[in-house]
């Protein structure tokens, strides 16, 4: 099964991380990624840039509103993810526990849905699969 580890970080955690040398953070994260690579479970992973480079689309009003922020009530922002292929929920938890993260940071762990999670006879599910094919074809 596939799991997504979503890193969520608070302002305090970002502040606290400024005391740690950047090289150290890179090294710790590199070792963590390498461990998952070497265990054959890491499928993908990306980091996200700081929130001030992002923006928000709010669907609260009749027409979606695009703003630079604020990010609403939540102080916890996603700033990176990993996708793992593991044998169990517990294995996903074990890997998550090993992430080199400090106080103020949380990992949200979610199972990634597969084809089996959707009704295959649905026309739109079928269309989406077709689009994925097209995208893949373009990359090829």
Partner 1 sequence: MARTPTERGPDRSESVRRSVAAVWRIESARIVATLTRTVGDFGRAEDLAQEALADALAQWPETGVPANPGAWLTTVAKRKAIDGWRRQERYDARLAAIAHDLGTEAADSDDVPWDPDRIDDDVLRLVFVSCHPVLSREARVALTLKVVGGLSSDEIARAFLVPTSTVQQRIVRAKKTLAAAKVPFVVPERAEFGERLAAVLGVLYLVFNEGHSASAGDDWMRPELSREALRLARVLAELVPREPEVHGLVALMELTAARFPARLDANGDPVLLADQDRRRWDRGAITRGRTALTRADALGRGRGAYALQAAIAECHAVAASVGDTDWERIVLLYEALGRLAPSPVVELNRAAAVSMAVGPAAALEIVDSIVADGRLAGYRFLPATRAELLTRLGRTAEARVEFAAAARLTANERERRLLLDRVAAMSPPDDGRDPAL
Provide the 3-class DSSP secondary structure of residue 105: strand
Site size for partner 1, by CB under 8 A? 35
Give the CA-trace dihedral at 113, 115, 121, 124, to 10 degrees. 60
Range in contact with partner 1 (rule: CB under 8 A) among 4-12, 15-23, 33-41, 47-55? 33-41
By CB under 8 A, residue 101 contacts partner 1: no
The answer to the question of residue 115 lying near partner 1 (CB under 8 A) is yes
| Cβ at position 28, least distance to partner 1 in Å | 11
Q: For the sheet containing 105-111, what is the strand order?
A: 42-47, 77-85, 2-9, 105-111
Instruction: Tell me: does residue 129 bind partner 1 (CB under 8 A).
Output: yes
- Residue range at the interface with partner 1 (CB under 8 A); choices 9-17, 21-29, 53-61, 92-100: 92-100
Residue 12: closest CA among 106, 108, 97? 106
């Amino acid at each position: 099964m596939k799991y997504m580890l979503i890193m969520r970080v608070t302002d305090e955690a970002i502040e606290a991380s400024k005391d740690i040398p950047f090289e150290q953070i890179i090294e710790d994260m590199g070792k963590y990624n390498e461990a998952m690579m070497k265990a054959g479970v890491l499928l993908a992973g990306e980091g996200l840039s700081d929130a001030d480079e992002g923006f928000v689309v709010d669907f609260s009003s009749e027409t979606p509103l695009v703003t630079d922020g604020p990010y609403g009530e939540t102080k916890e922002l996603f700033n990176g993810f990993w996708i793992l292929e593991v044998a169990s929920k517990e294995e996903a938890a074990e890997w998550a526990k090993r992430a080199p993260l400090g106080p103020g940071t949380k990992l949200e762990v979610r199972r990634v849905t597969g084809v089996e999670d959707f009704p295959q006879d649905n026309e739109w599910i079928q269309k989406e699969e077709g689009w994925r094919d097209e995208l893949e074809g373009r990359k090829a």
